[in-house]
Amino acid sequence: MKQLDVVVKGIPTHPHNRYHLPSKQEIEARISPKTKAIMITHPNNPTGTVYSLEEMEMLKEIALKHQLYLVVDEVYTGIVYDGIESRSFASLSDCEDHVIIIDSVSKRYSSCGARIGAIVSRNHGLMKEIGKLAQARLSAPTLDQVGAVALYNLSSEFMKACASTYEERRNVMVEGLQAIPHVHVSVPEGAFYCLVDTPFTHAEDFAIWCVEHFEHEGMSIVVAPAQDFYSDPHVGAHQIRLAFVHEPDVIRQGMELLKEAITQYTKMINI
């Protein structure tokens, strides 16, 4: 962003409503004559928020009113829980020239090493320019392209099975987190992360301590500081992100380790 002299204006969201969007008026208050696009992740990383059809329509209305692009990262499409319908922003009507979908096989198909995906839009002028950018860089490896085609052609039943597996793991992690004193988690509706409020002012220091010093019964734990997910890193300085990608028994063990780590660290810093 700095290389392109782009200024990012974050839209604050909050755990009390699972990080769903604020009002239309609050979003529009951050739009200026220089604003070019709204960027959003759906389902969201790291919050796990799945935006409702009403929220999607609201963003569409804002994009049309202010003539903005609506750039949507949908790499977690299909990984949704609690009977929520998985919708793409590409399904919205009357905004074909405004919606740009960023997609990848890396997340929902567990193909992180492939690093291959797609930019999808019905805006023919935009896609023509993106084609020029693609030709100016090295192409993705042929083998990865072949693999990506096979993944994109998997049946919808595959994604339903994956989502069901992740939902079980989410429930195990949330249950474990809710049993840890002074920790709060907003139950994710999609993706495979939990954004966790810790009792620490600087969760990054806690994360570093876990790597460098924490050990319990021959095991340790790694957590990711969440502050870099915010346009204002001070807002998320007390949070960590956890991924529920392991088997339930491993997650249960991890939650016990996290509880022990928080207990030890709390005593060490005397809070």
Using one digit for the tens of pLDDT, what is the confidence trace for 67-126?
999 999 999 999 999 999 989 999 999 999 999 999 999 998 988 888 888 899 999 999
Closest CA to 99 of 87, 110, 88: 88
pLDDT at 193: 97
pLDDT at 52: 97
Is the pLDDT reported for residue 134 higher than 80?
no
Residue 71 tokens read as: 């750039």
pLDDT at 1: 67
Separation of alpha carbons 86 and 89, rounded Å:
10
Architecture of domain 15-152: 3-Layer(aba) Sandwich (3.40)
Residue 6 banded pLDDT, cuts 50, 70, 90: confident
H helix count then E strand count, the chain: 7, 8
Separation of alpha carbons 200 and 25, rounded Å:
33
Neighbours of 173 (CB within 10 A): 27
pLDDT at 51: 97
Cite the residue boundaries of each domain of the chain with CATH code 3.40.640.10. 15-152
**Burial zone of 161 (CB within 10 Å; 0-12 exposed, 13-18 middle, 19+ buried):** exposed
Per CATH, which fold does 157-269 belong to? Answer: Aspartate Aminotransferase, domain 1 (3.90.1150)
Cite the residue boundaries of each domain of the chain with CATH code 3.90.1150.10. 157-269
pTM of the full structure: 0.91
Is the pLDDT reported for residue 271 higher than 70?
no
Is the pLDDT reported for residue 60 higher than 90?
yes
pLDDT at 165: 97
What are the pLDDT digits (tens) for 173-194?
A: 999 999 999 999 999 999 999 9
What are the pLDDT digits (tens) for 232-245?
A: 878 999 999 999 99
pLDDT at 80: 97
Is the pLDDT reported for residue 136 higher than 90?
no
Residue 270 banded pLDDT, cuts 50, 70, 90: confident
